[in-house]
Structure 1
Amino acid sequence: MLGHVSSPLADRSEAPRQGDEGGPEAVVRLDPDLAPALADVSVGDEVLLITWLDRGDRSVLRVHPRNDTSAPLTGVFSTRSPDRPNPLGLHQVRVLAIEGTELRVSDLEAVDGTPIVDIKSTLGPIGSRCHDRR
C-alpha cells in the first residue's frame, strides 16, 4: 500500500454512499519515499484514488443497492458497494493542497485509515490524450 486516508469519517455508517453526495475533505498520507511520484501532481488536479476497502465483507456477492431492502438483490459488480470479493474503491477527487507527501482532497467518502493502493490522473477526452503529459 502507498499510504492511508486521514478522514473525519470514523466508520462506514458516517460515510455518504457516493463521493458526489457530500464526502468531506480528507488527507491522503503517502509513504515519504514516494515523494518523487508526486512531482507533476498539482493543486486543482482531479485524480483517481484507488483504495482497499478493508472494512468490506469479501464474501458478499449480491446486495440491495444503497442498502434499500425494498430494492431487489443485485450482483455487486453492478454496484459500488464496498462489500465485494475484491474490495477496491475508486474515488475521483480534486487536489486542494499538497504538503510533502500529503494531499488534501475534496469529496472523499473513504473512512479514516483506509489504505491507498494507487493514484492515477483522470482521463481527458480521447482526442486530447496523446498530447497530455500524463
Structure 2
Amino acid sequence: MPGQPRATFELRALGHVESRLRAGDDAPKQADEGAPDAWLVLDPGLADACADLAPGDELVVVTWLHEADRDVQVVHPRDDPARPPTGVFSTRSPARPNPLGLHTVRVLVVDGTRVHVDALEAFDGTPVVDLKPVLTPRR
C-alpha cells in the first residue's frame, strides 16, 4: 500500500540445481518444452527434511532466478515481439521484481539430500529456495 514501509526478510538458498542446462538461454520456456531431468542438491543439514521424499512424489520446486533482471515490469511474453507488451505479473517471465521460479516436477530418485527430478527448466547453479508437495484437490 502506498506510504507503508516495505517489509524486509531473509531468504536463504537450501541448495542448488545441477543440470546440463548451462545458461538461461539454454533453458526452455516451460518444462514440457524439452526440459531435461536434473538434480536438486540440498544442504546436508536438511537430511531430516528430505526423509519422507520418495520416487513418484510430485513437488513444486521454488527457485531464485538469480540472473533475472529485477527492474523489468513489462515484457513481450515468451520474448516474442509479435506478442503485445504485458505486465510481468500476468506472465511467467523470469524477469520480475522478485524472481521466484515455480517448477512442478516428479521425483525420480532420492539419495540423501540429493533429489533427482524430471523435466526441470532451471539451469545449472540456480539456487533452490524451497520444495513443496503438489496437493491434489479434495472432492
| Deviation of 1:123 (Å) | 1.3
1:17 aligns with 2:36: no
User: Which amino acid is 1:79 matched to?
Assistant: T
Match of 1:110 in 2: 122
CA distance in 2, matches of 1:41, 1:101: 10
Identity of matched residues, %: 57
TM-score by length of 1: 0.93
Aligned equivalent of 1:132: none
- Superposition misfits of 4+ residues, deviation over 2 angstroms: none
Root-mean-square deviation (CA), in Å?
0.7
Instruction: Report what 1:131 is aligned to.
Output: none
- Aligned counterparts, 1:1-134, within 5 A: 1-127=13-139
AA in 2 matched with 1:85 = P
Residue 80 (structure 1) shift = 0.5
Shift of 1:120: 0.3
State the TM-score, normalizing by the size of structure 2: 0.90
Count how many residue pairs are aligned between Structure 1 and Structure 2.
127
Structure 2 Cα separation of the partners of residues 26 and 39 of structure 1: 19
In structure 2, the gaps of 5 or more residues are: 1-12
After TM superposition, give the deviation of residue 49 of structure 1 in Å: 0.2
Once the 2 structures are TM-superposed, how far is the Cα of residue 20 of structure 1 from its aligned partner?
1.5
Instruction: Give the SS at the match of 1:8.
Output: coil
